[in-house]
Structure formats: structure tokens, C-alpha cells
Structure 1
Amino acid sequence: MRKKFLIFMYGLGLSVIAGFIVGLFYVLQSFLIEFFWHKNVDAFSRPVTNAIILLVIGIVIFLTRKHFGQLPRNFSNVMAEIRQKGTANYHTLLAQMVIPAIILVSGTSLGPEATLVSSTVLYGIWIGDKLRYVEANYAKLKKSSWLMVLRVLLIPHQYRIHREDSPEHRGIFLNKKMTKVVYFLNGVLGFSIVYNLFGEPSLIIRIGDSNWHYEKLGWMLLILLVSYAVGHVYLKVMIEIRKVIQSRIFHEVALITLGGLAIYVSSLLAPEILFSGQHNFHLFTTN
């Protein structure tokens, strides 16, 4: 019982550390975006400055994809790897905490949530591997020096046992789902602490009080239907455009260049759409 409790508490410590690191990623990308683009959307149209920023980021994307692959890792690909192998490769996690933060400075509409989601899953796998090692070597660690124990507990890239790729594997806790929930919430707590320490703005935007009346609900339904239809058409168009691009452009440099040019033109002609338009969110609360 004591063994399970100590391992559980160790997992709590790892989960809050993971939350801290993910929180630092969010703070970093927020700082970089504000540093290079400021908050005033009217100042986004800077032909030379924007070109330099996008050129540097394009080089970063090319070099990092060559050495690390796609960063951040796609969530669907991570889950597919887990279903196939029982685990996933998380050796580029620290790079995933830095490189996407730099890439987001480009103004791409892909926000930090892509990194947050896949990183949360990958950190969960890392925590499981560390706990698995401690559980398997618990008796040996009890006889080891405290320096050795600290080494095992604190060195992140060593002393791990990957999850077995077999249906018989049950992990080290009887109630794995509850343990995962507790660790996840603990990680969210760590993320929230960092988030608030650095004074990041709330993720919740209050739009204001509603003035809709019952006789206007018909218009609301119409707006929802039209919005759904427009969004569906837009999605179809984007899928077809992607197919056309992928069928004609194969070289990675050409793809990066095309994406950079699209963002560059947008920054000059329609800067409001950069960063998914988040710089215009304040308009929701304008009376």
C-alpha cells in the first residue's frame, strides 16, 4: 500500500511539472507574438519587417522539420501511434515546447491549442514510463543511496520503461482512469499557476448580456443554419484547395514558401485575419 501511495505521489509531482512546462510554452508564444506584432492590429502592415519575420520562421520550419519532423506533432497521428504500439515517441517534447512558439509568430491561424493537446498526451505517456520504471525497481531503489534515488526520479530522459504493446498490460494502478483524471487535473493546476503568475489574459471572453427576445429566436435559428452552411462550404473549398496544392507541389521548400507568401499577403491586405482574428476579440465586448 505504501509503495502504491509513494508512486502515486511521484506521479502527482511529475504531472504538475508537465503542467508548468506546458504553461511556460503558452507564456512564451504569447510573449513572442506580442513582442513582434504588438497588440495594435493597425500596425501589422509592415512590408519589410513582416517579410523578415516570415523568412526567418520559414528557415526555422525547414530546419526543424528536417531534424525533428513535424512540430507540433499531430494529435491524430499521436493517438494512431498509441493505438498501434501502445505508446508514442515523445523524445522531441522539449523542442515541441519551443519551436511551435516561434512558428506561431508568423501569424498562422493554427493556435497554441495544437501544441497543448498533443503535448498533454505525450507528457502523460512520459509520466507513465517513469512510474513504470519506479514500480519495477522499487525494491532495488529502497536499498540505493538517496543520490541514486534522486537521479532516477529527477532525470527525465533516463530510467523509463515503455508500456507493453499487449492487451494484458494493466499499468500500475487498479483504477487507471481515475488516476489519469487526477493527474490531468493536477497538470491543469500547474498550467494555471504559471498562466496566472505571468498575468496572461483570461481564456474566457465575456461578450455581454443578451438582448434577444422570443420573437427573434427565428432569426437566431436562421443565423445558425446559414453559419453552418457557409462553414460547411468553406471546409469543402479548403479541402479541394489542399488537394490541388498537394497534387502539384511536392517539394517542402515550395510548400513553406507558398504558406509564407499567403501569410505575408494577408498581413498587408487583411491583417485582421492573422492569428485567427484574436486581435479583434475585444470587439465582441464593445457596446
Structure 2
Amino acid sequence: MDSHKIRNRTLFLAAVIFTGALAGAFVWAFFLVMNIGLNFVWKTLPDRIGFAFFPLVVCTIGGLVIGLYQKRFGPYPEELNSVMKKVKQNGRYEYDDIGISSVAALLPLLFGGSIGPEAGLTGAIAGLCTWVGDRMKRFGSDFKNLTSIGTSAALSAIFTAPLFGFAAPLYGSCEENGDDDDTLVLPKTSKIIVYLCAIAGALGAFMGLGALFGGGMGLPRFTEIHIGTTELVWLIPITLVGAAGGWLYHLFDRFSLGFSTLLGNRPVIKAVIGGMVLASCGMVLPFTMFAGESQTHTLSGIWTTMPAIVLLLTGFAKLFTTPFCIHTGWRGGHFFPVIFSGISIGYGCALLTGADPVFCLCASTAAVCGGVMRQPLMAVLLLFLCFPVKGVVIMLVGAIIGSAIPLPKFLQPEDGSLAKPSEKANEGDGGKPVGKTGTS
């Protein structure tokens, strides 16, 4: 190998690690700003001017802000599935509107939206990585892969789940054999090493910045699980309860899409209604608001003081508020809220059955995620971020049963992609970011 090739390979590996670190740092900074904003809106303000209907006022104002922002700039951010599809098909993601998209991703989170941050973050990081690749492509064609590599690193940092981050961008991507089926196709060994380097850079930057300056985001880590006769007796019933949640998610998603379509091209009205419905649910069942990450930490400390029926209703209600938010303009991801829903349902099942709580969480959450994602392997890889490896068999059983529950044709996702929510969210607003849009 000549010195020119060695230099380019070394430069490429350095760029990969830098890309991963850039993704991790961006995720950390986004979460830091989000947490500062959430503390101000939902802790500082209520302490000063709090009153009984505070959530309704804040979410209504939030809906107005979100709607006006979308009316001005378009339906940002794009869904995670749409971002990943563009990266797979084009090998790049345009970066002209990174700032607009990042603000659009932040707004619904600050106002209490029952959505996750992964959609907006992945799009912004994919754009940044494309920008880096464009400026380094003269050093070799390998640099065009930085966008896909950055997407993998971003997902790893967002969920602190390296296996999920590694597999998600490769799922269904069969470029090396020309197929397009719904399978996980591993690239060559050299590419695997490259992806792992990027993931290491992302997690290193994300966790390092969090350790030095605080901030960050993450679900609690459940480390102890007991599997005995009682647990095995209740495995299928608990799994079926979780699978019912995954099935209902698709029903709620279809209902929300129909409601959004009925309202037509009125982003402001839709977002205000979305905020009012979100707040109404939140005033009855407070945990139905927000992404669910910090709420999971809180719930894990107080669930034994709550009635089982409240825990179950909270889990199922959140499976409604998430797609309703997405379709009414509070755009974002669904992974964190869906995981929270499974955990809330699992705690309710633990109170009802007396089975080990972490066992119940593994079974119900895997079934909910399997039912929503319809991809058992990806659901389990995602759930490694909070559940012990010892529970992998329980998670596999739950995810397989959840994904095997058949959906009526009118509820079936239109493709076999990783992200299942609302590819057509806000289709009345144009279906994709196109600048100024619509009426009020």
C-alpha cells in the first residue's frame, strides 16, 4: 500500500472518530438545552406563577408557537424513518435547514410534548456529517459514507445503546447484494470496524461531556431480575397486555392521522388542538406528558404508591398522546414514549400479579415495542439500554409475540421500515419541509 493510500485511510479513520464525537457532542448539547428549558418552563415558572390549569395554558401557548413556526418554515423536523431512508438511498442528507430543523425539534419537547427527540436529532446530525463529508471528499470516495456512519453514531448516543445504533442504519439496507427486503445485512468487516469506531467516538463524547459538565439523557438501568415459577406463569398474560398496547398504538396512530387529515392544511389550529388535548390528558394522568425519560426515573421510585389501574391507564394513554402529538404538528420520535408506556404497564402488572417487577417490565415493554416496531430483533437491541442481558429471553418472547399480533389491513404500516409512526404526519401541510406553508 503506497503512502498516499495510507495517509487517506488514516485521515478517513480520524474523520470517522471525529464524526462520532461530533454526533455525541451535538446530542449532549441538545439535551442540555432541552433540560434547561424544561426546568424553566415546568419548574421555575410554576413556582412563581403556578395555578391549577398551568399545563393547559402552557401547552396551548406551545401549540400556537409550534403552529406559527411550521406555518413560517414548514413541517420540520422530518420523521426518523424519512431521514434514514434518504441517507440509505442518497448516501447524504441535505444540511441547508439544520438550524430550522433543530429548533423545530426542540419546541414541542420544551412545551411538554409526548414525543422523543430522536427524529430531529438524527436529521440534524446526518446533515452535519454530510457537510463534513462534502468538504473532505477530495481525499477519497470513502468520505461519502460519513452520513450513514454519523446516523449510526447519533442513534447510539441518543439511546446509549450501541448495538441498536449499529444495526438501525443497516436494517433493510442491502446495497451489497441488491436486495431490498426487511433484513439486517452486515457490511464487510472493514466497515463494521469503521461503524464501531464512530459509535465509540459518539458515546465517548456524550458520556464524557455529561461527566464533566452534567446534562445528558437516559432511561434508568434495571440490573436485577428474578425469574421463578410465578414469573413464568405470568409471562404470556403480561406479554399479551403489552402486545395489546402495541396494537392500540397503531389504532391511535390511524385515528390521529384521520383527525389531522380532516383538519386539512391548518398547522396553527392543529398544533393548538394537539396542545390542548395533551394538557387535558396530562392534568388527569401527569405522566402522559413529556418524552418519558426523566418520568421513568420518577416512576421507578413511586410506582408502589400508585394504584395498578392508574399505572395501566397511564401506559395506554401515553400510547395515544404520542401519535396524536405527532399528527397535530408536535413532531418528533416515538421510541422514548413507547418505552415509558411499556414500563408503566409493566409496573401495573407487577402490582396485580406479585411477580418480579423487572421481569414484568421486560415482558411488557418488549411486547409494546415489538407491537409498535413489528421488528422483534430491533426492539430487543433497543431495550438493552435499560434492561439486563439476563432478561434477553423474556424480551425476545415479548417482542416476538407483540410483533406477531396481526394488524388489520387499514392499520398496517406501508413499509417494513424501522420507525413505524406517522410517515404521513401533517401530510395536509405538504408532507415534507418546503418552506412557508398553509393557512392558520
TM-score > 0.5, shorter chain as reference: yes
Inter-partner Cα distance in structure 1 for 2:8 and 2:14: 10
Identity over the aligned pairs, expressed in percent? Answer: 22
Pair 1:283–1:64, CA change in 2 (3 A): closer
Cα drift, residue 64 of structure 1: 3.2
Q: SS at the partner of 2:218?
A: coil
For 1:224-268, what per-residue CA distance to the aligned partner results, in whole angstroms no more than 9, with x for missing partners? 122212431x22430331243033110222211211111222233
Pair 1:104–1:65, CA change in 2 (3 A): same
* Residue pairs, 1:31-110, within 5 angstroms: 31-38=36-43, 46-47=51-52, 49-110=54-115
2:298 alignment counterpart: 282
2:262 alignment counterpart: 248
Pair 1:58–1:132, CA change in 2 (3 A): same
Inter-partner Cα distance in structure 2 for 1:230 and 1:108: 20
Equivalenced residues, count? 250
Contact 1:71 1:99 in 2 (8 A): yes
Inter-partner Cα distance in structure 2 for 1:175 and 1:44: 58
Pair 1:209–1:84, CA change in 2 (3 A): closer
Q: SS at the partner of 1:275?
A: coil
Cα drift, residue 175 of structure 1: 4.1
Inter-partner Cα distance in structure 1 for 2:279 and 2:250: 24
Match of 1:200 among 208, 215, 229: 215
For 1:27-47, what per-residue CA distance to the aligned partner results, in whole angstroms no more than 9, with x for missing partners? 1112211221139x9999845
Pair 1:209–1:43, CA change in 2 (3 A): farther
Contact 1:65 1:71 in 2 (8 A): yes
Match of 1:17 among 2, 13, 22: 22
- CA root-mean-square deviation: 3.5
Please report the TM-score for the alignment, with normalisation by the length of structure 1.
0.71
1:124 alignment counterpart: 129
Contact 1:37 1:44 in 2 (8 A): no
Instruction: Kindly provide the amino acid, as one letter, of the partner of residue 260 in structure 1.
Output: G
For 1:16-73, what per-residue CA distance to the aligned partner results, in whole angstroms no more than 9, with x for missing partners? 233212210011112211221139x999984564355334433432343245433332
Inter-partner Cα distance in structure 1 for 2:12 and 2:222: 44
Match of 1:264 among 267, 279, 292: 279
In the alignment, is residue 30 of structure 1 matched against residue 35 of structure 2? yes
1:228 alignment counterpart: 243
Q: SS at the partner of 1:190?
A: helix
Inter-partner Cα distance in structure 1 for 2:86 and 2:273: 30
Instruction: Kindly provide the amino acid, as one letter, of the partner of residue 266 in structure 1.
Output: C
Structure 2, unaligned stretches of length 5 or more? 1-5, 142-174, 177-188, 305-440
2:117 alignment counterpart: 112
Contact 2:20 2:201 in 1 (8 A): yes
Instruction: Kindly provide the amino acid, as one letter, of the partner of residue 242 in structure 1.
Output: S
Inter-partner Cα distance in structure 2 for 1:8 and 1:43: 51
For 1:253-284, what per-residue CA distance to the aligned partner results, in whole angstroms no more than 9, with x for missing partners? 22112111112222333223111554253332
Instruction: Kindly provide the amino acid, as one letter, of the partner of residue 97 in structure 1.
Output: S
Instruction: Kindly provide the amino acid, as one letter, of the partner of residue 29 in structure 1.
Output: M
* Residue pairs, 1:154-233, within 5 angstroms: 175-200=190-215, 203-207=218-222, 209-232=224-247
For 1:163-187, what per-residue CA distance to the aligned partner results, in whole angstroms no more than 9, with x for missing partners? xxxx99xxxxx94453243223312
Contact 1:88 1:122 in 2 (8 A): yes
Inter-partner Cα distance in structure 1 for 2:47 and 2:259: 31
